[in-house]
Amino acid sequence: MIDMPSGFDWYDGSKRSGRRTGAQRLPQRSQRWRHIGGRRVRVMKKLDQSKVEYIVAEKRKGTKNGIIAESMDITVRYVQMLWARFKDTPKGKIVFPATMGRPRRGPPTRCERSAVLSARRALKSGASRIWGHLRRAGMAVPKGVIHTILRESGDAVEHKRKQGRRKWVRYERKYSNSMWHTDYKQLDDGRWLISYEDDASRFITGWGAFDEATARHAIEVLDRAISQYGKPRSILTDRGSQFYATESEKKSKGVSEFERHL
């Protein structure tokens, strides 16, 4: 049995008469409990600095990862990550929470700048080819650093498609009933769901579920929504046959039933 840090309560499950005190108290409903080594232990899930220090101390004693992980209610992999991070840290010097990922890289060094710019003048190429050239020469410079150097020297430009993801414009129209969106979606039970959504407010003005995705059902839901919320200035749909006539239909019938209704 491993020595547990402060904050643990023990209860061995034995039935004793009289009032239970201290380690003999029964667990509350909000507590998490595990059976470890034949004893019932209240485990901790959220780690803090003292618990990380305890994990490192137990690892130095030779306690197995599985026992530590189960007592802390974390994964074995997390125990291994903490041990790899703090195994060389002296006792009392552990700082947690700490960044567990790769440490942030500083700005390019003067040597890196010189090598990249020299390769640029010789090869007249981009970051990928310069990276390979420097790697074959025994110099490891990340492609991102190479691109940063080229951009600062004016030899490279930013591409919008390669930049970070921008926030989507959620609402296009300013006023309600300016435009409604509509489309069919097949449900798990095989029926077809159609809904009308206001572009400005994202409010569902009408919906219905039918056995078939037809123009007649789309018109039925649309009329019901208009009678309740008013007529929109425009309606946006896809090119489905329920909303638009196909080439053959245009030749024989003209516009679709949905278009005629509008």
On whether both 38 and 122 belong to a single domain, the answer is no
On whether both 8 and 97 belong to a single domain, the answer is yes
Q: What is the dihedral of CA 55, 58, 59, 62, to 10 degrees?
A: -160
Specify the higher pLDDT residue, 166 or 182: 182
On whether both 7 and 91 belong to a single domain, the answer is yes
How much is the average pLDDT of 128-157? Answer: 90
**How far apart are the C-alpha atoms of 77 and 230, rounded to whole Å?**
58
**How far apart are the C-alpha atoms of 20 and 57, rounded to whole Å?**
31
Specify the higher pLDDT residue, 109 or 18: 109
On whether both 127 and 148 belong to a single domain, the answer is yes
- Are 47 and 72 a contacting pair, CB within 8 Å? yes
Residue 241 lies in a domain: yes
pLDDT computed for residue 226 by the predictor? 93
Helix (H), strand (E) counts: the chain: 9, 7
Specify the higher pLDDT residue, 22 or 220: 220
The total number of structural domains in the chain stands at: 3
How much is the average pLDDT of 87-98? Answer: 80
pLDDT computed for residue 190 by the predictor? 87
Report which of 187, 16, 31 is spatially closest to residue 8, judged by C-alpha positions: 31
Residue 148 has pLDDT above 80, yes or no: yes
Q: Give CA angle at 186 (184, 189), nearest 5°.
A: 145
On whether both 148 and 86 belong to a single domain, the answer is no
Looking at 165-169, 205-209, 225-229, which range is the least confident one?
A: 165-169
On whether both 185 and 254 belong to a single domain, the answer is yes
How much is the average pLDDT of 98-104? Answer: 62
On whether both 95 and 153 belong to a single domain, the answer is no
Strand residue runs (E) in the chain: 10-11, 33-36, 39-42, 180-186, 192-198, 204-210, 235-236
pLDDT computed for residue 30 by the predictor? 33
Rounded to the nearest integer, the mean pLDDT of the chain is 78
Residue 127 has pLDDT above 60, yes or no: yes
On whether both 93 and 151 belong to a single domain, the answer is no
- Are 212 and 241 a contacting pair, CB within 8 Å? no
Query: What angle, rounded to 10 degrees, do the helices at 143-152 and 110-123 form?
Result: 80
- Are 96 and 83 a contacting pair, CB within 8 Å? no
pLDDT computed for residue 59 by the predictor? 92
On whether both 207 and 229 belong to a single domain, the answer is yes
The pTM assigned to this predicted structure is: 0.37
On whether both 118 and 78 belong to a single domain, the answer is no
pLDDT computed for residue 71 by the predictor? 84
Looking at 23-32, 102-111, 136-145, 172-181, which range is the least confident one?
A: 23-32
Residue 176 has pLDDT above 50, yes or no: yes
Range of the domain at 218: 180-261
Kindly indicate the confidence band of residue 243, based on its pLDDT and cuts at 50, 70 and 90. confident
**How far apart are the C-alpha atoms of 227 and 59, rounded to whole Å?**
71
How much is the average pLDDT of 144-155? Answer: 90
- Quick count: other Cβ atoms within 10 Å of Cβ 33? 13
Residue 169 has pLDDT above 80, yes or no: no
Q: What is the pLDDT of residues 2-54, one digit of tens each?
A: 454 444 444 344 444 444 443 333 333 334 555 655 666 555 556 788 888 88
**How far apart are the C-alpha atoms of 169 and 178, rounded to whole Å?**
17
